[in-house]
Amino acid sequence: MKRLTIMMCMVLALAFVSTGCASTGKTPDEKRAAILDMKNEVLGDLYKVRPDVRAQIKAAPGYAVFSNANVNLIFASFGGGYGVVRDNATGKHTYMKMGEVGIGLGLGIKDFRAVFVFHNRKVMKRFVDQGWAFGAQADAAAKAGDKGAAVAGEVTIDNITIYQLTESGLALQATVKGTKYWKDKKLN
């Protein structure tokens, strides 16, 4: 019975993650437009909290913005999302997807946004072409709409500064995750 409950929770988690990422539109043009709207909204939110980031993004070779839904079930976490990388030199957008799996202690659901600022063109190209990122995460979030509180962070790794903003959710977690970012073949 315990094994069946865990399996059901995993199926529900995957269903949540899948449906959370599917609300961007029906046609490729609608999906691209929704992703660009999300990007602009997230950047606006980030600039309200950290106005100095606007100049950092403008001076960088490029940046990426992702929307991610994450579910933590006791010893496992699952996540998925979508986003876009913008090359500041060419103005080109590369649409991407993401998925993550983790192990560790956690419980809850969290919807967050991430902004990656690439400080090196080679690093940006590698991110777009290869897309792997591994990391550890420990956070607490309790937020719904404008109510509640969240821990948002900034970290710099391999010439990439990453900002994370919690959109909504309730989560307490300490996990080690593997995250894969890849080009969305249907949108590029």
Average the pLDDT over 22-41 and give the result: 88
- pTM value > 0.75: no
What's the pLDDT tens digit per position in 101-130? 666 555 555 567 889 999 999 999 999 998
What's the pLDDT tens digit per position in 42-63? 999 889 888 999 999 999 999 9
In the three-class reduction of DSSP (H, G, I as helix; E, B as strand; rest coil), residue 147 is classed as: strand
What's the pLDDT tens digit per position in 141-150? 343 444 444 4
Candidates 155, 174, 171; CA nearest to 163 is 155
Residue type, 67: S
- pLDDT reported for residue 128: 94
Distance, in Å, from the CA atom of 67 to the CA atom of 115, rounded to the nearest integer, reads 9
